[in-house]
Each structure stands twice: as structure tokens, then as C-alpha cells.
Chain A
Amino acid sequence: MLAKRIIPCLDVDRGRVVKGMRFVSLVDAGDPVEQARRYDAEGADELTFLDITASSDKREIVSQLVRRVADEVFIPFTVGGGLRSVADLRAVLRSGADKISLNTAAVATPELISAGAEMFGSQCIVISIDARRRDPASGAAGWEVYTHGGRRRIGWDAVEWAARAEALGAGEILLTSMDCDGTRLGYDVPLTRTISDAVRIPVIASGGAGKLEHFYDALTVGGASAVLAASLFHFGELKIADLKDYLRGRGLVIR
């Protein structure tokens, strides 16, 4: 049986891990390869690196990091953050990454999804969606898409965007709830469920994990194929092995 996946996310700046919540970065927290190796040993099913390097030689910095990780860690990993062109995708994939996650660039140029999927295969194109619930006062229901690390509201409906990304050739959706991110009150289960029902590709739930039950809810009621978390794992509050024992105990298929 296909197992549900647990994915730690590492924020990386200029080749170093920075700890913090998704939208507020904090202190230097070590070498990405060491962290990746530790997560691998603890039973992580995949890794996601969110690169926040703002530099003209970003592509080379990211490629170096990817090569180092790929040489030593034998589980799949995704790289995202500021990748804009087919050339960017090629550089990162050739260096050894398994998947690319696209967010702002995919919204700006949706054809990048189809171009990337045609050239490298849908399996390596992950569309990252940052979504926030619409203001109820506006009278509109649902969730809307934000770009630029959550700073820019673009007015698109998150469900429609997910379905369109799938049609363009996306292989997976990484769905972050901006309302829940950093709160530790749980994933946005209704959002996750709505998107999972709207597409036939795997959905990775992100944003809001605080305790064991939250992961279970996203994977069952939410219909997610995988769950992603950052700070909860980084700060050692939750061990991946303990989380997996818990989920297995509740009857989920876990590696």
C-alpha cells in the first residue's frame, strides 16, 4: 500500500539552513547536508528545501547545495524558492534535485508549468500555492492565492488555480494555508479537502502543524497525500519517528 508521506521543510539562505517560520526568517541553524542526513536517519520520506537566497549568483549557489545533498542523501528532495525559468529548472534538476516547486513564477507565467512538464516530466513539477481565506465581510467564500512569499494578493481563487495547474501538467500541489501557518493550531483541513477533491494529483498539506492529531486530520479528513512541517521538526519538539508511530497506531499506512 502507498504510504502517507512526512516531509520536513528546510529554509536555506546562501547555502545555510535558517530556522524560523515560513514568512519570518530567523537565525543560522547549520549545514543543510547535515540536517538532511539527520532527517533521513529519523525516517523523513522526502525533504523540501525552500531557498530564500537573494543574490545574482543564486543559481550557482543553489546548484552547489543540491549537488552536496544529492551526493549523500538517498531520499527524494524538492527545491523551491525564486526559480523562474526553464534554465533555472534544468540547472537544479541536473544537479540532482528530484522536483522543483514553483510559486510566484508559475502565477506570473503559467506556461512555465507546461514547458517544465514537457521537458522534464510532470513528476518533478510541484506547484506551491499560498492561500488565505477570503474576508467574510467581503461576502465572498473560499480562498485566494498570494504570491511573493505571501506579500502580494493576486485575487485568484485557490481551487481554480490548483485545477488549472494540474491541467497544465503539474505533478503535485504543495498547499500552504497562510491563515494557519505559524499558529500551530492545525492545518486548514477544509482548504486541504477542497483542493484534494478538485484535483487528481497528490496534495501536500502545509502550515499550522502543532501536534500529532493535526497531521492525522490533514491526511484523513483533509485527503492529503503528504504533510509538510518546518519549525516543529527543527526545534526538536516532535521527532519524525514518534509522529510515524502515532500515525501507524491510528491505522494509516506509514513507511
Chain B
Amino acid sequence: MSQVAIIDYGVGNLRSVEKAFAATGCDAVVSSDDKVLRSAGRLVLPGVGAFSACMNALCERGFDEVVREQAAQGTPVLGVCVGMQLLFETSEEFGRARGLGLLNGRVRRFANDLVVPQVGWNQIRQRSTHPLFRGIADDSFFYFVHSYYCEPATSAVTIGETDYGVSYASVVAQKNLCGVQFHPEKSQSAGLRLLHNFANGGD
């Protein structure tokens, strides 16, 4: 059973994520049911808006534990946008907010001399031939909307990089955990391909 469950914890536009998986022929459900989330073959952790608001909403429902447990059991987890940021230890948004800490590193704000949020299509420079990138050309454009970016403690987890004032980690992967800073569900064919790759383990 390799159903993809998209964690519904009250934030974000989950319908688009679900429909994007469906468009690639994958079986995905949006769920806030503990049992469904624990039995899913793969988990998507979405997130938009403020880091701490997302983290609080996730914890209120006890889904932080679900993600930790499933991640520890080897279930593939894909964090999207703020969902990717939540995988890290801390964010400097509103002082110092704690994340899930599944990946080492922190979340930082873009420099003040840039237009922030970064809104629009930017490129991913692939640093490895990870299965998530199968069938996706190097330097493909994806749709981004964010003011903060992830800074992993070790560059080994960075499999894709993007330039916006700085060169930052826009795609990370470590064992069964991965995260993308952009919105694959809004990134046309390249985004759909990435979701397909996640759902199928790159096959």
C-alpha cells in the first residue's frame, strides 16, 4: 500500500496538492485522520504562512508526533514550502521558533535589500542525480513564494540550489526525508513530475 497522505492541519491550499497528485495518476488523499496518516505509505507535510503558526497548528493536533514516528519508521516524507522549513531545528521568524528538528540546520530570512517575499518562477540547480529529479531537466523553473529559506547544517543534504541574493537550499533530501521550498503543485509539468517521482520513489 503506497498511498500518499497529505497532512491536513488547517493551513494552506491542500486541494491543489491533492489534485496535482491525481493529475499524475497517483493515489493521494488529504487527511486529518490519525489512522489514515499513520497507515499511509508516504506523507506530504504542506505549509504556508508563518512558521510558528504552522508549527503550533501541527502540534495542537499531535501531528508533529505522527511525522516524527513515521519518519523514524522510514516512511518517505515530503515537506513543501513552510512544510520543508518545519523539518529543520529552528527559524528566525518572530525571534526563535522551534521546528521538528528532523534535519539539522535553521531557517533564515532573505536579506533586506531584496524584494521579499520572493514570488515567481526560479530555477533549481541539481546537485545530485536524486530520484526526485528523474525526468526533470537541470535548471528547470519552479514556482516559489517565500520570505525565509533553509540553511542546512551540512551541505550534504542539499540536492537542489536556487539563487536569490544568496545561493540557498531549495531541495533537500536525507534518507526517507525530503523537502522542496517551491510549490510543485503550482509548477506545471516539472512540478507534477516531481510529485510523481515522490509518489513512485523515482520509478
Contacts and interface: CB of A to CB of B under 8 A. Distances in A.
Nearest to B50: A121
B62 interface: no
Given A3-B141, A74-B185, A200 B15 contact: no
A190 to B, nearest CB: 19
Contacts of B91: none
Contacts of B61: none
Nearest to B15: A96
B118 interface: yes
A123 B120 contact: no
A105 to B, nearest CB: 20
Interface residues of A, number: 35
Interface in A60-92: 67, 70-72, 74-76
Interface string A161-201: 00000000001100000000000000000000000000011
A123 B145 contact: yes
Contact of B48 (A96, A120, A202, A226): A120
Interface string B1-34: 0000000000001011001100100000000000
Interface of B: 13, 15-16, 19-20, 23, 48-50, 53, 112, 114-123, 141, 143-147, 163-164, 183, 185-188, 191-192
A225 B121 contact: no
Contacts of A2: 118, 120-122, 144, 164
Interface of A: 1-5, 40, 45, 67, 70-72, 74-76, 93-98, 118-124, 171-172, 200-202, 225-226, 255
A167 to B, nearest CB: 14
Contacts of B143: 75-76
Nearest to B195: A74
A201 B13 contact: no
Given A74-B187, A124-B48, A200 B112 contact: yes
A75 B48 contact: no
A202 B157 CA distance: 31
A124 B11 CA distance: 12
